[in-house]
């Protein structure tokens, strides 16, 4: 895709097609072609996380959304009929959203079941995985901190605690997180906790309450809120789909 950014006939074709089609969309780094054709100027857009900086620097008129799976959702009329998605699987999320918009929820649900997927991960869900984060290259102390974090999820992981562990001032550590990982320390810790909780729930060996405690959420309701924010479903639904039923361990529903 990147090699085609200078393909003038292709870019011209995109420009001619845009006003004639009901919708125009891209998957993964295809957003860079739409941007090169000028079709994303003034619009929100996303792409694979490894291409976001390039998209932002090369096309300053594009409103780059770093924490986004796709840009098809309500309330953004300025995006018109041009939509982008973060990666290959995010392209499936975008496709399901379009099916639901055109043919209704039952049809979209039937398609999702065939694909063994949840019907909807919200378009605004973060694409970045804390567990798969690239190793920091410019801040060795941050790299050591990330190695330390997974074994500490049940304890206090405030900014002050992280800074003390890394032997860095809090502001310096915050800047290192943003520069190296594109995330604040608090957001990174929350994602790491949720991703670890999702893996534990998929194993089907522990209740939601136990997983909440082990991962530092304290109460199942706190886990439920963070789970919904990151995955668009509750921990109970996740456990039922991937690990069998898991008792919530409380009187409050976790779905």
pLDDT in tens, 142-151: 989 988 998 8
Q: Which helix (H) or strand (E) holds 112?
A: helix 105-114
Q: 23 pairs with which residues across the strands? A: none
Helix 170-181, helix 140-148: angle, nearest 10: 90
- pLDDT of res. 66: 80
Residue ranges for the chain with pLDDT beneath 70: 74-79, 116-137, 242-255
Tokens found for residue 165: 């562990």
Measure the CA–CA gap between 150 and 165, rounded to whole angstroms.
Answer: 14
Through-space distance between the first and last CA atoms of the chain, rounded to whole angstroms: 40
User: 3-state DSSP call for residue 44?
Assistant: strand
Closest among 122, 121, 100 to 110, alpha carbons compared: 100
Q: State whether CATH 3.30.300.30 applies to domain 130-255.
A: no
Provide the sign of the torsion angle of the four alpha carbons 158, 159, 162, 163, taken in this order: negative
Tokens found for residue 159: 């900014």
- The answer to whether 28 touches 87, Cβ cutoff 8 Å, is yes
Q: Characterize 134-163 residue by residue with b for buried, 16 or more Cβ atoms within 10 angstroms of its Cβ, and e for exposed.
A: eebeebeebbebbeebeebbeeebebeebb
Token pair 């405030």 is found at: 158
Q: Which CATH number fits domain 2-114: 3.40.50.740, 3.40.50.880, 3.30.565.10, 1.10.1060.10?
A: 3.40.50.880
Measure the CA–CA gap between 205 and 246, rounded to whole angstroms.
Answer: 8
Share above pLDDT 70 across residues of the chain, in percent, rounded to a whole number: 84
Measure the CA–CA gap between 198 and 208, rounded to whole angstroms.
Answer: 10
- pLDDT of res. 132: 55
- pLDDT of res. 3: 85
- The answer to whether 233 touches 245, Cβ cutoff 8 Å, is no
Domain with CATH 3.40.50.880 in the chain: 2-114
Provide the sign of the torsion angle of the four alpha carbons 95, 96, 101, 107, taken in this order: positive
Domain with CATH 1.10.10.60 in the chain: 130-255
Query: Residue 70 gets which letter from DSSP?
Result: B
């Amino acid at each position: 895709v990147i090699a085609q950014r200078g393909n003038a006939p292709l870019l011209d074709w995109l420009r001619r097609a845009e006003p004639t089609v009901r919708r125009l969309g891209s998957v993964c780094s295809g957003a860079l072609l739409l941007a090169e054709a000028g079709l994303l100027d003034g619009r929100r857009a996303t792409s694979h996380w490894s291409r976001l900086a390039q998209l932002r620097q090369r096309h300053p008129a594009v409103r780059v959304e770093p924490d986004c799976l796709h840009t098809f959702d309500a309330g953004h009329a300025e995006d018109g009929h041009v939509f982008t998605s973060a990666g290959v699987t995010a392209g499936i999320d975008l496709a399901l959203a379009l099916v639901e918009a055109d043919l209704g929820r039952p049809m979209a649900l039937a398609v999702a079941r065939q694909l063994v997927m949840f019907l909807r991960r919200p378009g605004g869900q973060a694409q970045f995985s804390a567990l798969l984060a690239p190793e920091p290259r410019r801040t060795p102390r941050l790299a050591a901190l990330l190695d330390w974090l997974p074994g500490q999820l049940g304890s206090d992981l405030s900014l002050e605690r992280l800074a003390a562990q890394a032997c860095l001032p809090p502001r310096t550590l915050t800047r290192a997180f943003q520069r190296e990982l594109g995330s604040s320390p608090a957001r990174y810790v929350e994602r790491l906790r949720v991703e670890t909780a999702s893996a534990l729930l998929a194993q089907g060996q522990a209740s939601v309450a136990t997983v909440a405690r082990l991962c530092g959420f304290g109460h199942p309701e706190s886990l439920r809120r963070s789970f919904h924010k990151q995955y668009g479903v509750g921990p109970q639904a996740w456990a039922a789909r991937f690990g069998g039923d898991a008792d919530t361990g409380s009187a409050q529903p976790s779905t």
